[in-house]
Structure 1
């Protein structure tokens, strides 16, 4: 059974129980250990897998690049994307005392002084409005903290660097979040297995994706990592929340807000929204 949900993102939900043999996923999310399988590239492609760790996150990049770029060109594209991830960590990380976010919190600068910072603040404000205040980057101790969407924003910026250097088929993964575009090295859509966060016996739901993002909150097992912005207390409605859509920063923020709000947050995804709640597991 294949159920098409919409064209943006271009995603299919695949019930793996009807396939014999089952299609092997390229990426696994929500499992105890998130896994990737870059696979073997077709004859006219170059497949590269690279993992980089910053002070706040680990990222895995899978590139399925055209052979015409050559290995040097693919290496340059990869270096550009990695440099972007490191620069965002250094420049915007809320835990870094001299980052732009920390300086903004201390009132030393205004967001308008730096266009990318203004974009980050505007995105946070937009998500606060879209989620009825359940995603609120200002409702945290010490002031503004964009952590709920900063990782997704960083991935989207790195993905833009890949496209600018001629790589249009890729996946960028961080934790249980990812962005994909184009095709996997085997030539077909990226196959993403999303596992149930607590029941290891359940077969994963497999998404076939050629564009889009998956944002998840709650699968790390950390308690109290999302706070109810209305009470200041740790959220405890759900075990996890997973949202899919075109942009990872938005999907990530929605997942964080849904985790905080619980089932009431499902109302945000009605009326033709480009974003869908894939999982919202109660405790």
Structure 2
């Protein structure tokens, strides 16, 4: 691995990645925007260019682009010019299948690929407190570990084979965005009933509250072990969900995600899971996907 790193993309996340890389390496960075290149050039250790092919001699190429289509197009242009043994690190948020496609596309040139999804936000990247979620072959990851550590100042978390890091990022974002809807619904219900939002937030964040308890107990202890006996019956959870819907209806508070969740409990009850712990809704997905969800399944 050389002391100079190539970077493709100087956008909202790409520029902070470039500045992080520049703390440990010389960086040559490509972007089509003259404005973004000028911003990058203000930082010591970063050489900005509008010539994509100028990156062809670098052993490590970090990609940070807006969407999969742009990543595909840029890598297709660059592929014939890369030398054997080079490594592409995809940090853009793309699908796992996209990263595996990049590998198939670049493999004939002897170029290796890993995925290193950025879990954190722009501010955390700028502060050197970002976390990377990575996937790929052990040998490739070992070769570029110093590069990953320069980007992911808060840690580099390995998730498995190529594409696993992106899968984890997509799952995380899906959860975050769905939970955001549920939380807004919750605070709208609380506001309608005159309950202080700060009090609700503290309650939800407790170990036995509505955010942590489902993850740490229902998922990591119940579902992970396939243990659905005892606990809070699904029928009781269904009743509580019904009460939330009734309270919201009386106050005129629209619910969307909470209403959809109620449907799952209705289905589970109808399939005979009513006396199981309410984490037994996981068994619905096990049946629908024909894949076990318990640890080691």
State the TM bucket, normalised to the shorter chain.
under 0.3
**Higher RCO (CA 8 Å, separation ≥ 6 residues):** 1
Q: Structure 1 length as normaliser, TM-score?
A: 0.27
Greater helix fraction, Structure 1 or Structure 2: 2
Greater strand fraction, Structure 1 or Structure 2: 1
Q: Structure 2 length as normaliser, TM-score?
A: 0.26
